[in-house]
Amino acid sequence: MSTVYDYVVKNREGKDISLSEYQGKVLLIVNTATGCGFTPHYKPLEAMYKEMKDKGFEILDFPCNQFADQAPGDDDEIHAFCTMKFGTDFPRFAKVDVNGETASPLFAFLATEKPFEGFGKGVKNFFLNKFANLNNKKFGDKAYIKWNFTKFLVDREGKVIARFEPTVDMAEVKKAVAAAL
């Protein structure tokens, strides 16, 4: 059975990093964007990271530009934006695709382990679902992730235990992280 520790990703400098380096930690793996309506999630993510990193918690940030081109710029520009605007200190990796033929194997694995179950109820979620479906139509059965700031919670053994769509309240995400710790 696979775990996230079986995957190798690229850091911002293009160097291969085995996720086995994070073995024994609780992980929150997030696909992000700098120009999205959910970009303010960086603030509670950083607060959660500061509060819990000493307990064995890591946030792994993977910028992605597949949703309405909301992550323009190269890896250094994205990193500068996130550190200057939100003071983020958690690890940020090279920009990835999360859908389609060029999808990161890590994100294909995460989404297979915890498939999309919907954005929730309400008018905002209804419209996001319509927009996401139009955007992701081009990826067919490889539309693993529906929008920016999808979060996957991974336990200390490397197993995916939860998926949070960007519409989930960050307090709920924090509560799940605390329980996993």
Q: Specify the 3-state DSSP secondary structure of 61.
A: strand
24: left (phi over 0), alpha (psi -120 to 50) or beta: left
Q: Is 64 considered catalytic here?
A: no
Catalytic residue among 30, 33, 36, 177: 36
Taking alpha carbons only, the member of 22, 27, 35 closest to residue 65 is: 35
For 24, other C-beta atoms within 10 Å of its C-beta total 10
H or E segment to which residue 154 belongs:
strand 151-154
Helix ranges restricted to H, 9-155: 42-52, 75-86, 105-113, 123-136
Q: Which residues are catalytic?
A: 36
